[in-house]
Amino acid sequence: MHKPHLHMSLHFESLRLAATPVLFAIACLSSFVEPQPMQAQQGLPSRSPASDTITWHMVSDWGVEGRPWSDVNRFYDRLPGRAESIVRSQVWSLSRHSAGMSCRFVTDAPEVQIRYTLLLPDLALPHMPATGVSGTDMYTLSATGEWRWIATLLPRETRVFGSLIRGMESGKRTYMLHLPLYNGIDSLEIGVTMGAFFEPVPPRTEKPIVFYGTSIMQGGCASRPGMAIPAIIGRRMDIPVVNLGFSGNGRMEPEIAHLLAELDPAVYVIDCLPNLTVQQTAERTEPFVRILREARPSTPILLVEDRVSPNAFALPDKMREHRDRHAALRTTFEKLQTAGMKELYYLEGEKLLGEDGEATVDGSHPTDLGMLRYATSYERALRTILR
């Protein structure tokens, strides 16, 4: 594959995922952990089933990755408290969701439990399961240095308690827990077998990749939090990530640009076209990018076209809208390049979802297969940018 120069557009094709098909069936629910009933009382219970044999650790004591601001109203908010008076109410409400946040820890416990309280009563969406909307998703670091999925908790009420994994073989393991994508968390604790070794792993201090975008970026409609695009990228590239996807509200607004400009990331990824009209794309892209560039003169910025809906081939108006948005974004990209802006990159959207039309829930939001294909295209671009 031709390697683009730093000043050139990035043009990558999504990896065609072959081999074994991904199967989704009701029987798969047996792989998820059924939470045990919570006691009917306010907040987290002081005693849970088997509490005499479990030691609890409050995650807020050592922190989470994916929380870019510390001056927040609630620990698991994605925007600072002052943003409530700056951004639109819809954006503020979505910023209370814990999308993209994760915590890590090391333990040799044969059993790992979890208990947490959710912010919102709606545990699922019509097109997205409770495991992705409100669930927690745990991975462990394998002997070969790869993150491997190990457990997912299926919530059934806002106060959640359950054993994530039990019967683990002896020895210390590093775990990473991904938090809910479309719900917020008020309190979160990790429980391990009493007497077991437990060591919190504090958030890394290296520069993260900051993703700003739409519902697709936030994680709709991943079956579990670890299958959102930023989470996949974070594990594959071993780098911190920040998920600032706002469902239906990734609109390249100057208020958001100024907030993003406060951060110091390794890369800004801007993927907003699914929430913009052609005219808005033409009008908003340049001011948004210039705000970021003024604050961060040398930080790479990756502009991403929107995915092409899998049924657009049969719908001329929809295909025309996709291509007109793409053209508006590329025109701005080329204008900024001609004006001398460096470290500006471009990722085409034609094949982000693959070419077989099988990677969405509703013609827009990716399934887990779609998330993997998106992440593969992103990974190729980001590795080139960060080489």
| Residue pLDDT, tens place only, 217-235 | 999 999 999 999 999 999 9
Residues 352-380: what's their mean pLDDT?
A: 97
Cα separation, 153 vs 113, whole angstroms: 10
> Chain-centre distance of CA 285, in angstroms?
22
Residue 165: both structure tokens together: 């994994």
Average pLDDT, the chain: 89
Asked which of 2-11, 38-47, 268-277, 327-336 is least confident by mean pLDDT, the reply is 38-47
Q: Considering only the C-alpha atoms of the chain, give the largest distance between any 2 of them, rounded to a whole number of Å.
A: 67
> Which pLDDT belongs to residue 52?
75
Task: Using the predicted structure, report yes or no on whether residue 10 has a pLDDT greater than 90.
Answer: no
pLDDT in tens, 54-70: 999 999 999 999 999 99
Task: Using the predicted structure, report yes or no on whether residue 75 has a pLDDT greater than 90.
Answer: yes
> Which pLDDT belongs to residue 42?
31
Residue 169: both structure tokens together: 């073989």
* Structural domains of the chain, ranges and CATH numbers in brackets: 33-38+47-201 (2.60.120.260), 209-385 (3.40.50.1110)
**Residue 208: closest CA among 235, 244, 230, 240:** 240
Residues 6+ apart with CB under 8 A from 122: 133, 183
> Which pLDDT belongs to residue 44?
38
Long-range contacts of 46-51 (CB under 8 A, 24+ apart): 48/113, 48/115, 48/161, 48/191, 49/161, 50/113
Cα separation, 133 vs 182, whole angstroms: 5
Residues 43-61: what's their mean pLDDT?
A: 70
Task: Using the predicted structure, report yes or no on whether residue 381 has a pLDDT greater than 50.
Answer: yes
Task: Using the predicted structure, report yes or no on whether residue 6 has a pLDDT greater than 90.
Answer: no
Residues 27-43: what's their mean pLDDT?
A: 37
Task: Using the predicted structure, report yes or no on whether residue 281 has a pLDDT greater than 70.
Answer: yes
> Which pLDDT belongs to residue 71?
97
Give residue 245's pLDDT band: very low, low, confident or very high (50, 70, 90): very high
Residues 90-95: what's their mean pLDDT?
A: 98
Residue 16 or 282, more confident = 282
pTM: 0.88
Tell me the three state secondary structure of residue 159: strand
> Which pLDDT belongs to residue 51?
59
Task: Using the predicted structure, report yes or no on whether residue 53 has a pLDDT greater than 70.
Answer: yes
Residues 27-31: what's their mean pLDDT?
A: 36
Percent of the residues in the chain that have a pLDDT greater than 70, as a whole number = 87
Task: Using the predicted structure, report yes or no on whether residue 16 has a pLDDT greater than 60.
Answer: no
Residues 315-331: what's their mean pLDDT?
A: 97
> Which pLDDT belongs to residue 14?
35
Task: Using the predicted structure, report yes or no on whether residue 50 has a pLDDT greater than 70.
Answer: no
